Amino acid sequence: MHKVTLKQQAVELRTQGLSYSEILEQISIAKSTLSLWLQEVGLSKKQRQRLTEKRRLSALRGAQRRKNDRLLRTAQIHAEALWELDSLTQKELWLLGIALYWAEGSKEKEGSAGTGISFSNSDSRMIALFIRWLMEACEINASRINFQIYIHENSLHRVPDVQKYWSEATGFPMKSFDKVYFKKNKLSTNRKNVGSLYYGLLRVKVSASSNLNRKVAGWVNAICTRCQII
């Protein structure tokens, strides 16, 4: 087809409100040529709105495809990770607990009269793993484990739900979570930990555990020594 005829056809399609990609599906020319031909072709407000909506929907579809691809890759990576860690020995659990406490637990300061085991986190899986470590690796009886919940004061109305959440996450009865402390809210904040999925922070404490805290500190030192970390 002659270029003049192609240009006329392109202009006609554009005045009908078609996008460049829609026109290129019907006319086989370079996009740069099409852009040059149509640079002075105006569109009505309704046509511009249609193209804007078309671009918006296209962007949404693209974002959804990328999300689906990411979820698929993540699932595959997690499946491979599960295969790589096919079992967990008691010694490995013991080492995991030491590392967890080293990162998130309360340490005894020099000159202190005694600091018991105290571990805080908002991740329910980390809390559950730490409790398992206490009971299996350190042989701590459940009766010695106590809990404190810390949440922002604007979640006062959600206390029962929060207590139920931590009860289910830890396997301890609801009555174990009667100590709830409220943190004041700032007038202006960018916090993301709000809404129905916010369950605050849980502190796990062990009664009469100063010596255990010292032993954990010793285990940490031993790990550093074995890894030649000064």
Do strands 180-183 and 118-121 pair parallel, antiparallel, or not at all (unpaired)?
A: unpaired
List the single range of 89-93, 100-104, 183-187 with lowest mean pLDDT: 183-187
- 3-state class (DSSP) for residue 7: helix
Angle at 100 between CA 126 and CA 225, to 5 degrees: 160
Is the whole model's pTM more than 0.85, yes or no?
no
How far apart CA 76 and CA 65 sit, in angstroms, is 17
% of the chain beyond a pLDDT of 90 = 63
211-227 residue pLDDT tens: 999 999 999 999 999 99
Q: Which two tokens stand for residue 53?
A: 């909506």
List the single range of 147-151, 183-187, 199-203 with lowest mean pLDDT: 183-187
- Which H or E run contains 67? helix 45-84
17-65 residue pLDDT tens: 888 888 888 888 888 888 888 887 877 788 888 888 888 988 999 999 9
Locate the domains of the chain by residue range: 90-226
How far apart CA 26 and CA 6 sit, in angstroms, is 10
Quote the pLDDT of residue 38. Answer: 84
